[in-house]
Amino acid sequence: MAKKKKAKEQVEEPKGSIEKDFEEGGFAGVEDTEDTGLDVDDFVITKEQVAETTDDFNAIFREGAAAAKDLKDAFDDIKSAFDFKSIFK
């Protein structure tokens, strides 16, 4: 039985300060001593704001897709300009 107890003691590793702070409910090296003055109500988002943001993201996506298409077309033009296989056929 002494061997089993000794093996178990070897397996357990000492906990560092990060683990101790986490278990105590805090984060290592961070102290929450400053009041930011923000309230839960400061983070309320309305349906209109969500709809507006969604429209903005959709517009950004469309512009990005159009730019990607233009770049692909330009790449295909450049690639065809350097296609020497068609010259030797």
Identify whether 72 is part of a domain: yes
Q: Looking at the predicted structure, is the pLDDT value of residue 9 above 60?
A: no
Q: Are 30 and 22 in contact (CB under 8 A)?
A: no
Question: Exposure of 21 by Cβ count < 10 A (0-12 exposed, 13-18 middle, 19+ buried)?
Answer: middle
Does residue 75 sit within a domain?
A: yes
- If one compares 86 and 58, the residue with the highest pLDDT of the two is 58
pLDDT score of 30: 54
- Give the distance from CA 10 to its chain's centroid: 38
Per-residue pLDDT at 55? 96
Question: Is residue 89, in this structure, part of any structural domain at all?
Answer: yes
80: in domain: yes
> What domain range includes position 73?
63-89
The better pLDDT of the pair 86, 78 is held by 78
Q: What's the pLDDT score for residue 56?
A: 96
Residue 14 lies in a domain: no
Distance CA 79, CA 18 (A): 55
The model's pTM is 0.45
8 A C-beta contact, residue 21 and residue 27: yes
pLDDT tens profile 14-70: 556 666 656 665 555 555 566 667 676 667 888 999 999 999 999 999 999 999 999
Are 74 and 68 within 8 A, CB to CB? no
Number of domains into which the chain is organized: 1
